[in-house]
Amino acid sequence: MSRFTHASIVRSVIDIPAELAEAQATYNGAAGRAFIAALPELAADFLNRWGLRLDGPGMNGVSALVLPVVRAADGTRAVLKLQLRDEETEGEPVALRVWDGDGAVRLLDHDPETGTMLLERLDTFRMLSSVADTHAAVQVIARLLAHLTSCPAPPGMRRLGDLAEAMLERTPWALERIPDPEARSMVADCAAAVREVVAEPGDRLLHWDLHFENVLAADRADWLAIDPKPLAGDPCFELWPALVNRFEAAEVAWRFDAMTDVLGLDRERARAWTLGRLLQNALWDVADGRPVEDRRLEIGRRLRG
């Protein structure tokens, strides 16, 4: 079968979700639109190159299209992850190789040029977000984080220290553009907290985005992490996603305490770096012309005590 014909068949089979196309256009502009336009051909290329056949409808987040596949050579059930290469996604296969399936999804193949990955298939019907008991779910995240961050970051990984310095440089610009006095004060306090810890940013391998929807069940393990956006840094920077995802104001202090206990973190450093995550998100809000989200401000209030 010619490549053109194969691509035409894939184009008629895969569905490119409108929300993925919109997100790529919003966040990546022309590069995002070009990525969406090339997706059918890209999928066809890797289905052919890696000897895969489609095995169900695709899934997506805001940045990637994930296709369930079967490897023809040995019947392995896997997923083909197609995404635009950027500074976040470039570190994903590196981190997955370091973890090698221990606490995280296993990487089966990777194309450095496009960032395309073949990953083991987990159970998408058993996501940690479906666990009704949020206390139990937070404990799962904490245990995974404690395990994953025990590894030193490999050379070349993005560094938390560099991100933190850039955030502090950007803060005066943002403060001038936040009209609400309370939000402005909160952002200034977050920056002050980061200044206290930025000189010692850490060297562990961080997932950066471990929330309830990025933890799936598997036959070989109760729970495994997916979709890392890895950094080299302090594990104290890892707590934010489990505070803001499935947000419950009354649970903020409990979740923070539970995670710092399981990870064995210094509570004041954890508070400072978690406020750093609030600062990071606030800077993104301001850059996009939005007010700082209320739930983020509430987390800040409760962490400041």
**Tokens representing residue 232 in the block:** 């080299």
123 catalytic per annotation: no
Which member of 111, 180, 209, 227 is catalytic?
Answer: 209
Identify the residue whose tokens are 């997932």: 207
Cα–Cα distance for residue pair 92/154, rounded to 1 Å: 12
31: enclosing H helix or E strand: helix 18-49
Gap between the Cα atoms of 261 and 58, Å rounded: 38
Cα–Cα distance, 14 to 79 (Å, whole number): 14
**Hey, which residues does 78 pair with through a beta bridge?**
69, 120
Q: How far apart are the first and last CA of the chain?
A: 65
204-206 and 231-233 as β-strands: parallel, antiparallel, unpaired? antiparallel
Q: How far apart are CA 149 and CA 126, in angstroms?
A: 24
Report d(CA 102, CA 144) in Å as an integer.
10
Q: Catalytic residue numbers?
A: 209
